[in-house]
Amino acid sequence: MRLQKLASLMKEKNFDGAVISPGTNLYYLTGLKIHEAGERLTVLVVSADGNYHLLAPGLYENVVRNFPVTFWRDGENPYHKLAWILAELELSSGRLLIEDTMRADWLINIIKLGRFELHPLSSVVRELRTRKDRHEIEMMKHAAKAADRIFDEILSWDLLGMRERELALKIELAVRELSDGISFEPIVASGENAANPHHEPGERRLRKGDMVILDYGARWRGYCSDITRTIAIGRPSEKLVEIYEVVKEAQENAYRAVREGTKAKEVDRAAREAIARAGYGEYFTHRTGHGLGLDVHEEPYIGPDGETILENGMTFTIEPGIYIPSLGGVRIEDDVVVLDGKGKRLTRADRELVFL
């Protein structure tokens, strides 16, 4: 069904076909769970006429069923078989969409098989994926609930003296117990490390006076959640507590700015203005949010350049932050869906500052 939608979109936009390697687009379009297959060529070829054929390594002979497929075994040259599939689907030349994340060595060999004009698959598939249907939103609610429950669990742990990477591992285990897995490696950033938005958890132990950024997410049936809460260990400096309140207000303002018909950049502006008003504008160093779904970062991006007009069914994060070198940082993040014209939080863990 979704493959047929892709085919009609390709027709509409004058593309002849698509070559799709394993990843979230392949899963979204076919439901096939083919993990990144490493170096072994695995591609789905789809024509704008609605025909499609998978080329997969022999390892999948007992896995892929009821789907038009050709297998190749180790020792064979898979590109000979791919050339045959392209010819069968009348795609030996023309305007082709290529999966954005395809390995460069595959792409280089595919280019040699014909005379193509190549374009990124995302330029077309984004039109299908950015608005989630009811089933997708249910999956995302489930992933978000798991993230909320884990935050409550974290608050019951004895965090004082724990190393960042120990806490990250405990969060990862908790996520894995409640869901299908992590949506990305948890971030635990304490004290001055919290000034780095993408800090990699290390050996630092959590101590009194720290603000600690916790950023993690769960996956449910492929769909991601992504939550950030910042907690205090003991009593941090007055400046950090003030910063917390500024970020909380910025996050709330951005959330309230979410409306069907509003541009993504208006939501970003609402957060950015609150932070600038409080005098911390230069310390908010990233966009306000990003789309969320099968990928943890996808369209629509909620940044100062976000021209996407928000529509019902769009799902994204709102996660302003303030990061001050040598002092630390604060970020608060929720997942939001546009429903009935307004934003609705999917993650709902308490946003008041917790002092542990």
Ligand X SMILES: CSCC[C@H](N)C(=O)N1CCC[C@H]1C(=O)O
Per-residue binder mask for ligand X (CB under 6 A), 254-293, x = binder: --------------------------------xx--x---
Contact 288, 318 (CB under 8 A): yes
Instruction: Kindly tell me which of 26 and 189 has the beta carbon lying closer to ligand X.
Output: 189
CA separation, residue 207 to residues 3, 14, 162 (Å): 53, 59, 8
Measured from the CB of residue 219, what is the shortest distance to ligand X in angstroms? 12
Q: Nearest Cα to 304, choosing from 279, 275, 272?
A: 272
Instruction: Kindly tell me which of 29 and 330 has the beta carbon lying closer to ligand X.
Output: 330
Distance from chain centroid for Cα 214: 17
Q: Which of residues 188-207 bind ligand X (CB under 6 A)?
A: 197-198
Q: Is the dihedral of CA 112, 114, 117, 118 positive or negative?
A: negative
Measured from the CB of residue 291, what is the shortest distance to ligand X in angstroms? 11
Instruction: Kindly tell me which of 47 and 253 has the beta carbon lying closer to ligand X.
Output: 253
Question: Helices marked H in 231-346 — which ranges?
Answer: 238-257, 264-277
Q: Which of residues 333-352 bind ligand X (CB under 6 A)?
A: 333
Instruction: Kindly tell me which of 12 and 200 has the beta carbon lying closer to ligand X.
Output: 200
Pairing of strands 187-190, 211-216: antiparallel
Measured from the CB of residue 97, what is the shortest distance to ligand X in angstroms? 25
Instruction: Kindly tell me which of 67 and 184 has the beta carbon lying closer to ligand X.
Output: 184
Measured from the CB of residue 143, what is the shortest distance to ligand X in angstroms? 13
Instruction: Kindly tell me which of 84 and 184 has the beta carbon lying closer to ligand X.
Output: 184
Residues in contact with ligand X, counted by CB under 6 A, come to a total of 12
Instruction: Kindly tell me which of 145 and 287 has the beta carbon lying closer to ligand X.
Output: 287
Q: b/e per residue, 22-36, with b = 16+ CB within 10 A?
A: bbbbbebbbebebee
Pairing of strands 289-291, 52-57: unpaired
Q: Which of residues 28-67 bind ligand X (CB under 6 A)?
A: none
Contact pick of 215, 252, 268, 298 for ligand X (by CB under 6 A): 215
Contact 268, 290 (CB under 8 A): no
Q: Which of residues 134-193 bind ligand X (CB under 6 A)?
A: 184
Measured from the CB of residue 183, what is the shortest distance to ligand X in angstroms? 8
Per-residue binder mask for ligand X (CB under 6 A), 289-328, x = binder: -x-----x----------------------x---------
Token readout for 313 is 């069914």
CA distance 132 to 100: 21
Instruction: Kindly tell me which of 78 and 343 has the beta carbon lying closer to ligand X.
Output: 343
CA distance 10 to 30: 16
Pairing of strands 211-216, 227-232: antiparallel
Residues that bind ligand X (CB under 6 A): 184, 197-198, 215, 226, 228, 286-287, 290, 296, 319, 333
